[in-house]
Amino acid sequence: MSKPIDSGMLQYSPKGAYYEEKDQQFKAVKKMWDGLFDYDRALFALISILNGTGFSKGAMTHKLLSNPVYSETGRELVAVGLDPDFEKKIIEFNLSKQKMARALKNLLMLAGGELHSRVNNSRTRKIILEFLFNRDNKELDSLSVNFKNKLAKLIRHALGKQDLHNILNGDMSLFQKKIGRYNKHAFPVICHLFNRLPLPGGEVRGHFPQIDTYWQAKTAAFMGDIEEFEKLIINLPWRVAMGFRNSYQLAIDKSKIMGTSKMSNKEELTMEAAVKRSGAKARKINYKAQDLYDLWKALYFKHATNEKENVEQISEAIDEKTMKLSKLDFGEGCVVVLDASHSMFGSDKRPMHPLLTGICIIAAIENVEDVFIVGGKWKSLEGSDLKVIFPSGASPIWRGLVDAVATGAKNIIFISDGYENSVDGMFDNIYKHYKNTGHEFNIVHINPVFSAEAKSGTGRKLTNDVTPMPVGNYKYLETEFIFNQMLENTEAVKQLLVQKYKKLIGGS
Amino acid sequence: MASLLERLGFIKELKIGDVQSDKEMTVLPLVGDALGDIASPESIQFRRTTTYGSMQFRNNNHDNPAIVPANMMVRGKQAQDHAMSGSGVVLAASDRLFEDSCCIESSQGGYFSGQNVEEDVLPVGLRKVLLDRTLRTKHSYDKLWGSIRNWLSGLRKVRPSDRAHLRDFFDEPNYKEALENFAAAFEPVEGQIGALILFNGIPVGLEIMPSADHWLAYWKWLIRGCYGSQLIKLKDSGEIPGATMILPEYPEDATPEELKTITTQFIDNIKMSIAPMLESIQVASQDRIESNENMITELIRTEGGGGGDVIIQDSKPVYLSLVL
């Protein structure tokens, strides 16, 4: 297999890194997608079940759906332990594992979103309609209010203009054939999405109360009835309520909306500062329900703004999440060296991403006995014992190597973007000294600055003996390991992925 | 004879940081407090080109003048790329049109008017051409075209042509990647306001910004666009040999502390051998370019044919950019 591929193909999201523009990354990743797809379509599909970014999975799904399946019987798939329709199951599985906004964006790629070409075939149409409507009324209600425009665009793409026109004009047999087979109550939802008013009243109130509230609130906003509007927004997502406020120029304070309307757990965390700035009463945030990366980000934000509120709760949640995190075992006696030099700040578009990712990766490693930090600047919160390291200065990574070897560690993990300038080549010089004088230890180099070229770019290697592993998200450590093995033994990895498929999705 | 930094009055303000190196390029960071009262780099914005050979900037700061870094260039789509002929001072809360700017993309028409641009500083070789005062102050948009053609001519991956498109170099994927690697290989240190830049141990540039914020804002333009591009050009045309630093050897039974000591001493020695070079830069001439309220811009020529701009505020230097 000619495979200039690495796990970067599952880690891409269209954001620039410190030193690499996003279009350069995209070209490199696309080459990997095309190469693996041409080599082994089944392997390509199976790989997409590993942890990866939503964008990568969307692009891989797009690739699968834009190329017809030639197999007549699917027997050759069954022979390796897969179902004839395993691709569809994988696509559905991947969609179900994404956050809803990302899942919809991935489907919108099929309608030409995010620089992809439009794909419209029976498989595509079926997957879109099944994903949107094969759910209970409560979920569909919330979905159609939260993501009204996205849903409308997807349905227009899946049905086509003519069928959509006919359904909206009451062709119920067509509705039943296309949508009712998944949810027989969904006709008012279609009317809501395409602003076909009045909505069928009884049906809406009975099955879709949020849609009902949406239109009542919109009417109240249109009429300028603030009192009524304020009552209704308690049951509306805050973005929708804010949209009505702005569109109809309602004289209602932002703080009222941010303090009362609905927010998801993640929104409550990411919007904490904005809610406070708006003057709204602080919401009670469930920190323990947040992602580890988001918690670290929130803690760093508190340090950067020197704000102490909720810092203890965030720290506790970080401890709890770290304890519960499933960890990857690199072997006993593991010491980590974290590069905290300036370049670990990352790009302006994703500030602090490499360092925060590095910190989370430490939490995802088993048996860590010691952590050495190279470079950086400590910052503490006034009146608190808590302090965190911020990226700053040069990268004397060789110091980390000396400190780590001095502990007698057998496994040393470097989390670094791999650029050494203080001075160039010093790490390799000391590494070779140790190797030539009988010191036994293994080095793993994890590069948290996602770069599609990280494996081939020699400039980012700390030493020629160690190939860096690009890990742009702490959740992808396992993915990276599977890819590493794949470079040695493709068939064994394929079997491993088939087993994973069976475990996660089921199959013959 | 007093060194350049003494003569200009910078010397007491600066400390020397730990040396950084990446193959042929070495950077000696200069660390110090902010100099003068200069608007933050966020305050100064390139706005547009109004005619060929003009660049307009706006200073949004209402209290302090802003500085446009010497030979800053802008590249963008559907408009002619441009570069400053020198540095620029824009007074508080005002716009300023620099009509002695240069076009650096000969056969592309169109003016910039708010679209996104990529920013850099001209390569050393082209900056040196603009040290000629007559050429620098001349209002002639095509004044750099001949030099750009010459500069591009030695580059192996730029297709030979008669056009003076500097972006033929900056857009070429291999060169682009190499330039980004330069930017990634060096990092600002805390409090850094400037640097001495060397190729194979020979000084090629001296840059001092008004503050650490200014350095943070502009260091990539300098390392990538100005010095990185020149180093690529020199290597490509075989004018500079590849270099490998000979690193220290250690006793077989060296303790961790001994390893650290030997390595630190080695790095300090490099620093100590480079630092005197700062003192060795001598001024050959100093020529006032303009005076604007409390700001004076002078063109410095150094012994050996280098030179650049110094900007003085209330009789104290606040900015220096020299190619050597």
The interface predicted TM-score of the complex, written ipTM, equals 0.87
Same domain (yes/no): A171, A221: no
**Burial of A117 by CB count in 10 Å (0-12 exposed, 13-18 middle, 19+ buried)?**
exposed
List B residues 123-142 in contact with A (Cβ-Cβ < 8 A).
none
Q: In which band, very low, low, confident or very high, does the pLDDT at B322 lie, cut at 50, 70 and 90?
A: very high
Summary mean pLDDT of chain B: 93
According to DSSP, the β-strands at B102-103 and B82-83 are antiparallel
Number of domains comprising chain A: 3
A388 and A348 fall within a common domain: yes
- pLDDT, mean of residues A466-487: 80
Q: What is the mean pLDDT of chain A?
A: 86
Q: Is A19–B21 a contact, with Cβ atoms under 8 angstroms apart?
A: no
How many Cβ atoms are within 10 Å of B63's Cβ, its own excluded?
Answer: 9
pLDDT tens per residue across span A406-452 = 999 999 999 998 888 888 889 999 999 999 999 999 998 998 876 55
Give the pLDDT of residue A73.
Answer: 56
Task: Evaluate if residue A55 carries a pLDDT over 80.
Answer: yes
Q: Determine the residue among A402, A421, A447 to mutate to test chain B binding: the one whose Cβ has the most chain B Cβ atoms within 10 Å.
A: A421
Q: Do A265 and A382 share a structural domain?
A: no
- On whether both A186 and A227 belong to a single domain, the answer is no
- Could A430 and B259 be called an inter-chain contact, meaning their C-beta atoms sit closer than 8 Å? yes
Whether residue A393 is found in the same domain as residue A457? yes
Residue B57, class by beta-carbon neighbours within 10 Å (0-12 exposed, 13-18 middle, 19+ buried)? buried
Q: What is the pLDDT of residues B4-54, one digit of tens each?
A: 788 888 867 789 999 999 889 999 999 999 999 999 999 999 999 999 999
Same domain? A274 vs A175:
no
- pLDDT for A215-258, tens place per residue? 999 999 999 999 999 999 988 999 999 999 999 999 988 888 88
Is the domain of A141 the same as that of A256?
no
* Residue A371 located in a structural domain: yes
What pLDDT is recorded for position A77? 57
Instruction: Supply the pLDDT for residue A4.
Output: 55
Which of these three, A284, A312, A337, is where a domain ends?
A: A284
Taking Cα atoms as reference points, which of A424, A418, A493, A411 lies closest to residue A450? A418
More confident residue, A299 or A51: A299
CB atoms within 10 A of CB B71: 29
Name which of A353-367, A415-429, B73-87 the model is least confident about.
Answer: A415-429
**Residue A134 forms part of a structural domain:** yes
Q: Cβ of B16 under 8 Å from any chain A Cβ?
A: no
Asked if omega into A449 is within 30° of 0 (cis), the reply is no
Mean pLDDT over B276-290 rounds to: 91
CB pairs under 8 A between A and B: 82
What local confidence, expressed as pLDDT, does residue A454 receive? 42
Contacts of B190 in chain A (CB under 8 A): 377, 392-393
Picking from A342, A349, A435 by the largest number of B CB atoms within 10 A of its own CB, the best residue to mutate is A342
Sheet arrangement for strand B55-59:
B44-48, B55-59, B94-98
- Cβ distance B250 to A425 less than 8 Å, yes or no, reads no
Q: Which long-range contacts (CB under 8 A, 24 or more apart) does B236-244 make?
A: B236/B154, B236/B155, B236/B156, B236/B157, B237/B154, B237/B155, B239/B154, B240/B24, B240/B199, B240/B200, B241/B200, B242/B23, B242/B24, B243/B23, B243/B24, B243/B200, B244/A425, B244/B23
User: How close is the nearest chain A Cα to the Cα of B182, in Å?
Assistant: 9
3-state secondary structure of B47: strand
Span A154-174, mean pLDDT? 95
Residue A16 pLDDT grade (very low, low, confident, very high; cuts 50, 70, 90): low
B270 touches chain A (CB under 8 A): yes
Instruction: Please name the amino acid found at residue A198.
Output: P
Q: What angle do CA B147, B168, B120 make, to 5 degrees?
A: 75
pLDDT tens, residue by residue, B167-222: 999 999 899 988 988 888 899 999 999 999 999 999 999 999 999 999 999 999 99
* B217: closest chain A residue by CA: A348
Is the predicted pLDDT of residue A390 greater than 90, yes or no?
Answer: yes
- For residue A486, being part of any structural domain is answered with no
Stated as kind and residue range, the H or E segment containing A392 is none
The amino acid at A455: K
Please state which of the ranges A275-284, B28-37, B107-116 shows the lowest mean pLDDT. Answer: A275-284
pLDDT at position A157 over 90: yes
Helix A86-97 / helix A490-505 crossing angle, nearest 10 deg? 70
Contact (CB<8Å) B256/A426: no
Interface mutation vs chain A, best among B224, B263, B267, most A CBs within 10 Å: B263
- Give the model's pLDDT for residue A221: 94
Asked whether the predicted pLDDT for residue B65 surpasses 70, the reply is yes
Q: To the nearest whole angstrom, how far is the Cα of A416 from the nearest Cα of chain B?
A: 12
- Chain B positions touching A437 (Cβ under 8 A) are 252-253
* Distance (Å, whole) CA A401 – CA A413: 10
Is the per-residue pLDDT at A33 higher than 80?
A: yes
**A2 pLDDT tier (thresholds 50, 70, 90):** very low
pLDDT band, very low/low/confident/very high, at A138 (cuts 50, 70, 90): very high
Pair type for strands B55-59 and B44-48: antiparallel
Instruction: Collect all residues of chain A within an 8 Å Cβ-Cβ radius of residue B183.
Output: 19
**CB–CB of B181 and A406 under 8 A?**
no
pLDDT of residue A459: 42
The interaxial angle of helices A86-97 and A100-109, nearest 10 deg, is: 140
Under the banding of pLDDT at 50, 70 and 90, the label for residue A1 is: very low
Residues A390 and A355 in one domain: yes
Extract the tokens encoding A336: 């980590």
Residues of A with CB under 8 A from a CB of B: 18-21, 24, 341-343, 377, 392-396, 398-399, 402-403, 405-406, 417, 419, 421-426, 429-430, 433, 437, 457, 459
8 Å CB contact of B259 and A402: yes
- Asked if the Cβ–Cβ distance from B263 to A426 is below 8 Å, we say yes
* Separation in Å, CA of B85 to nearest CA in chain A: 28
Q: Does B199 touch chain A (CB under 8 A)?
A: no
Structure token digits, residue B6: 């003494």
- Other CB atoms within a 10 A radius of the CB of residue A431 amount to 22
Cα-to-chain-centroid distance, residue A138: 25
A374 and A468: one domain? yes
Higher per-residue confidence, B103 vs A346 = B103
Rounded average pLDDT over A57-74: 82
Residue A96 has pLDDT above 70, yes or no: yes
Q: Give the domain extent around A237.
A: 212-284
Q: Are A87 and A64 in contact (CB under 8 A)?
A: yes
Within 10 angstroms of residue B224's Cβ, the number of other Cβ atoms is 23
Q: Which of A377, A396, A402 sits opposite B190 (nearest CB)?
A: A377
Q: Model's pTM, two decimal places?
A: 0.77
- pLDDT at residue number B297: 97
Position B63 scores a pLDDT of 96
pLDDT at res. A377: 93
Q: Measured between CB atoms, does B256 come within 8 Å of chain A? A: yes
In this prediction, residue A455 has a pLDDT band, given cuts at 50, 70 and 90, of very low
* Residue contact A394–B187, C-beta within 8 A: yes
Residues A344 and A467 in one domain: yes
Closest chain A CA to residue B190: A393
* Segment (H or E) for B202: strand B202-208
- As a whole number, mean pLDDT of residues A60-88 equals 76
How crowded is residue B261: how many other Cβ atoms within 10 Å of its Cβ?
12
The more confidently predicted of residues B140 and A381 is B140
pLDDT value, residue B293: 93
| Share above pLDDT 70 across residues of chain A, in percent, rounded to a whole number | 90
More confident residue, A29 or B251: B251
What six digits make up the tokens of A53?
């970014």
Q: Given an 8 Å threshold on Cβ–Cβ distance, is B20 in contact with A394?
A: yes
Asked if residue A349 belongs to a domain, the reply is yes
B18–A422 CB contact, under 8 Å = yes
A264 plus A386 within the same structural domain:
no
